[in-house]
Amino acid sequence: METRLQKYTVAEIVAGFVFNEFEGKGLYGLSGKLTIQPEYQRHYIYGDGKKDVAVIDSLLKGYPLGLIYFNDTSDDRFEVLDGQQRITSIGRFTTGKFAIRDEHGTEQSFFSLPDDKQKIIMDSELLIYHCRGEESQIKEWFKTINIAGVPLNDQELRNAIFSGKFVTRAKAEFSNSSNANTQKWSAYIKGSAKRQEFLEAALSWVAASKGQTIDGYMAKHRHDDNITELKNYFDSVIGWASGVFSDVKREMQGLDWGRLYEEYHKTPYSPTEISAAVQRLREDPYVKDGKGIFEYILGEEVDCKLLNVRVFDEATKRTTYAKQTAEAKEKGISNCLLCAIGHDANKSKIWDQKDMDADHVTAWSKGGSSDIANCQMLCKTHNRAKGNR
């Protein structure tokens, strides 16, 4: 891979700058020679009134903006490999798309700034690292450079590595904030379209259903010109989840719905009963993990571990141990209630507290509470054998 360093002024870079409001993309610079956002780049996420303003402040104060990387694609044409956010911020400012506050707190667009300040910005020099090489080399390198600003997340990196028709189409569906479905999806998936988190969930679900990784799936489908399978599978998962759990609850967000779909979509459920169960468990003060409620219900309320049910506190265990041990010693039997009624050598064994666990006399799932009246100590073997039901 060949590399060279070159300085450009801001005026050169923003010549012919075009910003696409609809897609949130900076498109061109350097009088059309520079493609600012190639398809493997993420969306513009500096437009938050802080990072974009900070870029302009840095220019006015003469602070360096850090290295920017261009990929030389053909004679005299380049695309931004890293620095798209910074260049887009500068381009948007110099075309009057947002304002900054001056030292008096007054809002100033580029055009209302005094001439000398406009000149400072336009004359600022940007240091550009040009590179030329095979697509694979460039992408590998892009993956390893430590990117300034907001670090790329895993899916943004994958989109860069596997760029092509498939990624372009997948992004148009899953990474498009103006897709009205994103509202519905966000009940189940945590994150945003811009940062590729819906796309990542969709890919992870379909890939897992085929025993593949996201990378493997993307590599295999890289040159597909449709996303039918991806979209159908995603729609099946979301459709199933919203059908089974008719009330949207905040704890649903971020669950592995793809795995739940695979495990449970063939089981029939009554949405009315499910809805009542969700309500009951959400109100149960012993349930510590509200996120586990949904799988617990799908699994017919067997696996209490999913709920991280509140356990007995230390004082309760100590008191119960002391009482049980004193009674056992008096009777000459084991202080484990189950060992005591057994027939082996342990039937008169006095266990140390560290070798025993607290157990619900009446199981929590049958309404038993985690207070002292419902606590008994069992040796670890018997407690495990009794299970978590």
Footprint of Zn ion (CB under 5 A): 336, 338-339, 379, 382
The three-point CA angle 101-102-107 to 5° equals: 40
Q: Which residues pair with 130 in a beta bridge?
A: 4, 70
Nearest of 22, 6, 124 to residue 76 by alpha carbon: 6
Residue 314's contacts (CB-CB under 8 Å, 6 or more residues apart) are none
* Residue closer to Zn ion (CB basis): 302 or 385: 385
Q: Which two tokens stand for residue 378?
A: 């069992």
Q: How far is the CB of 346 from Zn ion (least distance, A)?
A: 6
* Residue closer to Zn ion (CB basis): 159 or 320: 320
Nearest of 165, 163, 164, 166 to residue 142 by alpha carbon: 163
* Residue closer to Zn ion (CB basis): 116 or 344: 344
* Residue closer to Zn ion (CB basis): 302 or 322: 322
Q: Which two tokens stand for residue 361?
A: 């006399």
* Residue closer to Zn ion (CB basis): 121 or 333: 333
CB 316 within 8 A of CB 375: yes
* Residue closer to Zn ion (CB basis): 273 or 327: 327
Q: How far is the CB of 352 from Zn ion (least distance, A)?
A: 13
Q: How far is the CB of 379 from Zn ion (least distance, A)?
A: 3
Task: Measure the CA–CA gap between 127 and 70, rounded to whole angstroms.
Answer: 10
Q: How far is the CB of 349 from Zn ion (least distance, A)?
A: 8
Instruction: Please give the DSSP secondary-structure letter assigned to residue 365.
Output: G
Q: How far is the CB of 333 from Zn ion (least distance, A)?
A: 11
Q: How far is the CB of 370 from Zn ion (least distance, A)?
A: 21
Half-sphere exposure in the Cβ direction for 128 (13 Å, CA): 26
